[in-house]
Structure 1
Amino acid sequence: MPYNPFLSHAYLSALEESGSATAETGWLGQHLLMEDADGFLRGALVCYMKNHSQGEYVFDHGWANAFERAGGRYYPKLQCSIPFTPVTGPRLLSAVSGDPRPVREALATGLKELSRRHGVSSAHVTFVPAEEMPIFERAGFLHRTDQQFHFINEGYGSHDDFLATLASRKRKALKRERRAAVENGITIDWLTGSDLTEAIWDQFFAFYMDTGGRKWGRPYLTRTFYSLIGERMTDDVLLVMARRSGRYIAGAINFIGGDALYGRHWGCIEDHPFLHFEVCYHQAIDFAIAKGLRRVEAGAQGEHKLARGYMPVTTHSAHFITHAGLARAVADYLEQERRDVEETGEFLTEHGPFRKGERQQD
């Protein structure tokens, strides 16, 4: 299985040790561990007790509001995901050398039991790989789908090779956009490894706080988080930084996996037309092509990514709801939502930027 940086101890511990994902911020670690009779770890499920639904990217605020209007208590709940990280990856982690299915099935069943023991309203496992969903469904979890946009590298030798697969009008529009993004004397740097100094993190954190404060009200990640990943994951991180007049004015953080580049968030202290698209999307494609990575995952939602070569991909989540009435209502809702997601994905794929017969498929 390709390396997923968000499942590493370095990443998860940085979130907790930095004060980003803690009980104080509403992310109390309740990780589910499965051990054999001799105390050896056989499986694990990353899990948090939460008293809100922020930083998850699979939205259940409507469920919470409806349940509480009816007299129920939705929070606390259990959330099995990587905090603030809308990236699909293994959730039912198995440490056995043989068939992992018994361990995975036991973890899914154990999560239900943990929900009942804690007396919570629900347990949510988000950004689940498609191959794990049948295990959750057999255990009684509801299946939810959503949509992201990913760039698929079809073995391109350069960005121009990718552009050649687009319809002529789309290709010309992207070339104009990329030229316009840097025409105010802006240059772009890729920083990774030893480039990631504390001075660089100071600058990037200023971008994150400025843009995150305007977008979310309260940015999730602390300055210490960046220092910790800079120490522990230096070769797994790519900063795409935009420079003008001798100083950095914008940047995007990406994590480098075994076969994918994962774009996470960006920030800026100057506004320039199309700079966001250049730093977050076009440069990520350039890097993936240069390094031979199979795909770029550019975060949650965003139909504007379609015109830039990122195609719709279905994401999955599993939900166990302890209250029978709420479970029935949510199940009815999800049945229609899954149809809507499928139809929207088909429509967007049909109207993507690629020439007929050259649409990307993951």
Structure 2
Amino acid sequence: MSQHTSNNTEISSPDDGLSISFVESITAISDSEWSRLGFVAHETNPFIDYRFLQALEDSGSVTAERGWKPLHLVAYQNGQLVAFMPLYIKGHSFGEFVFDWAWANAYQRHGLEYYPKALTASPLSPITGPRLLHKNLEPEQQLAIINTVSEWLKQNYISSWHINFLDQDGVDLLSNSSLLPRRDIQFHWMNQSYASFDDFLSNLKAKKRKNILRERRQVASCGWSFEWLTGRQATDEDWQLFYDMYKKTFDEKGSWSQLTPEFFPLLAKSMGDQVLLLFAKKDNQRLAGAYFIRSKTHLYGRYWGSLVEEEFLHFETCYYQGIDYAIEQKLEVFEPGAQGEHKLARGFNPVLTYSYHDIVEPAFREAIDKALRYETKEIDQLLDYYEAHSAYKSTAKHS
């Protein structure tokens, strides 16, 4: 991809006590520096963990050649790392799940370059989480970092900066900035201390409950069984088989499978039991699989692949098996991935997600701001519709 950014990785400091710079790899930060930030992945969010970001880089999945140039922000105070923010210079909009292709096309129609752009997010992961990890910085200092990056964009001919899937702390912070807010909807399953899958089903409306039971019975009657493996248990051969499934499914959809084969075993080795591989088997053959990551409180469904076509197998493998696991492990939330209105009828609840956008070109900023205001009204109306069509009974634990 074309690059207009300079090789200078230092940017002006927002105040005398805070020194801000960029690093071109997560490995430029030492383990001891990272640990001083006080971020513990198993308790919070594995998708912003050092090991996850390192596996993406070391596996060759996230590189400049693939349109993801790492340029992470670090801030030091008195020689100590006090803030980190993942940052990538992007040559495309793949793997983001906050769709700005229309913006890129509008730039092109007007003879302007939309790429390169800057992205702060967990690559290839539509997972809400912290985006500015910091150690006891005041809100004013955090905003100063944001404003400093905004100025850097203009100096380096970057069209825009996109901060995707922010948690509530990030939303609260950026609501006081000049960045443009955007909303979308995902579907998450919430564990209401269910004792079993049947307990969960008892909280659903009769029609939804019967439909789920019918789908599960059909898969079971066809002879499918399921095998869970942790990252510690799965072998390199297991990961290669899953990668073949994953790539075949992406290829059939005409999509780009951005993760390399090396990514899955690398992350399994570093994150161990937080990584989960589920195989669907028939006649003792592994024919489909799903990839999950967990934290202390959440289960995240990330990738699916299959060597065969089988009705409802995707729902069983990616949704119902995940719900079973979350109930058994007493996890609070199961996030099965982006989009998917069909999840609503299967016990997943609509949840708002948030992103913020810094558009450098004034005319385009004004147009995008106007479009986002209209889009927000549509999202709010859609959220109301989804909530009115919940799969749950009005007397359920869910309500």
Normalised by the length of structure 2, the TM-score is 0.87
CA distance in 2, matches of 1:360, 1:116: 47
- Matched-pair contact (CA < 8 Å) for 2:280–2:287: yes
Judge which range, 185-194 or 16-25, deviates more. 185-194
The correspondence of residues 120-199 of structure 1 with structure 2, limited to 5 A, is 120-199=158-237
Structure 1 residues 310-360: Cα deviation after superposition (integer angstroms, max 9, x where no partner): 111000000000111100000001011111111101111111111124373
1:47 to 63, 87, 96: 87
SS of corresponding position for 1:78: strand
- Matched-pair contact (CA < 8 Å) for 1:108–1:135: no
Give 1:203 deviation, angstroms. Answer: 1.1
- Matched-pair contact (CA < 8 Å) for 1:187–1:243: yes
Supply the RMSD in Å over aligned alpha carbons: 1.4
Give 1:156 deviation, angstroms. Answer: 0.5
Structure 1 residues 69-118: Cα deviation after superposition (integer angstroms, max 9, x where no partner): 1122111000111111000000011123xx54244223322221221222
Query: Residue 64 of structure 2 corresponds to which residue in structure 1?
Result: 23
- Matched-pair contact (CA < 8 Å) for 1:44–1:92: yes
- Matched-pair contact (CA < 8 Å) for 1:256–1:262: yes
Aligned AA (1:20): S
- Matched-pair contact (CA < 8 Å) for 1:349–1:359: no
Give 1:43 deviation, angstroms. Answer: 0.7
Give 1:8 deviation, angstroms. Answer: 1.1
**Unmatched segments (≥5 aa) in structure 2:** 1-39
1:276 to 311, 314, 339: 314
Query: Residue 62 of structure 1 corresponds to which residue in structure 2?
Result: 102
CA distance in 2, matches of 1:80, 1:239: 28
**Unmatched segments (≥5 aa) in structure 1:** none
2:301 to 263, 268, 290: 263
- Matched-pair contact (CA < 8 Å) for 1:181–1:278: yes
- Matched-pair contact (CA < 8 Å) for 2:71–2:86: yes
Query: Residue 73 of structure 2 corresponds to which residue in structure 1?
Result: 32
- State whether structure 2 residue 370 is matched by structure 1 residue 329: no
Judge which range, 71-80 or 208-217, deviates more. 208-217
Return structure 1 stretches of 4+ with deviation > 4 angstroms: none
SS of corresponding position for 1:3: coil
Closer/same/farther in 2, CA of residues 100 and 187 from structure 1, 3 Å limit: farther
CA distance in 2, matches of 1:360, 1:346: 16
CA distance in 2, matches of 1:216, 1:57: 17
Give 1:216 deviation, angstroms. Answer: 4.3
Aligned AA (1:291): Q
1:312 to 350, 354, 368: 350
SS of corresponding position for 2:123: coil
Say which structure, 1 or 2, has more relative contact order (CA 8 Å, 6+ apart): 1
Structure 1 residues 208-251: Cα deviation after superposition (integer angstroms, max 9, x where no partner): 11101122432110011012012111211111210111210001
Structure 1 residues 113-134: Cα deviation after superposition (integer angstroms, max 9, x where no partner): 2212221110000001133223
- Matched-pair contact (CA < 8 Å) for 2:203–2:398: no
Give 1:301 deviation, angstroms. Answer: 0.5
CA distance in 2, matches of 1:103, 1:250: 48
Judge which range, 214-223 or 273-282, deviates more. 214-223
- Percent identity over the alignment is 39
CA distance in 2, matches of 1:231, 1:41: 26
Aligned residues: 358
2:114 to 74, 95, 98: 74
Query: Residue 209 of structure 1 corresponds to which residue in structure 2?
Result: 247
Aligned AA (1:320): D
- Matched-pair contact (CA < 8 Å) for 2:128–2:166: yes
Query: Residue 53 of structure 2 corresponds to which residue in structure 1?
Result: 12
CA distance in 2, matches of 1:107, 1:264: 31
- Matched-pair contact (CA < 8 Å) for 1:115–1:122: yes
- Matched-pair contact (CA < 8 Å) for 1:211–1:268: yes
- Matched-pair contact (CA < 8 Å) for 2:130–2:169: no
Structure 1 residues 237-289: Cα deviation after superposition (integer angstroms, max 9, x where no partner): 11121011121000110100121101101000011110000000001111111
SS of corresponding position for 1:355: coil
Aligned AA (1:24): E
CA distance in 1, matches of 2:204, 2:256: 39
- Matched-pair contact (CA < 8 Å) for 1:136–1:318: yes
- Matched-pair contact (CA < 8 Å) for 1:92–1:108: no
Normalised by the length of structure 1, the TM-score is 0.96
Aligned AA (1:56): E
CA distance in 1, matches of 2:272, 2:264: 10
